Amino acid sequence: MNSPVGPLRPIAPIAAVGTAVPLVHDQSKALQRHLVQCAKARGRWFGVALFAERLQGMVLPRLATTAALGAVTLGLFAHWL
């Protein structure tokens, strides 16, 4: 069976019984690299990015309503000055 990017391969390489230990070690190294990469991705701006993503998720589906409320608020504020 072929996928759009090429033939499907097993997730873990199939090896002989005598070489199973190095494969486990390689997989643990790959997992360790992945976890370090995930930890770096959660840097000091992670909270700000998460907030921005949530805000975008709330505002974007209601873009017209948000724009109308913003315009009304700006109009009331300008009238108050």
Supply the pLDDT for residue 15.
55
Token pair of 64 as six digits = 């017209």
The set of residues, in sequence order, having a beta carbon less than 8 Å from that of 59 and lying 6+ positions away, is 66
Which pLDDT tens digit goes with each residue over 25-76? 788 888 888 888 888 888 888 888 889 999 999 888 888 998 999 999 999 9
Report CA-CA distances (Å) from 9 to 3, 6, 14, 61.
10, 9, 10, 39
Reported pTM: 0.38
Q: In this structure, are residues 52 and 67 in contact, taking their beta carbons and an 8 Å threshold?
A: no
Supply the pLDDT for residue 7.
59
Supply the pLDDT for residue 70.
92
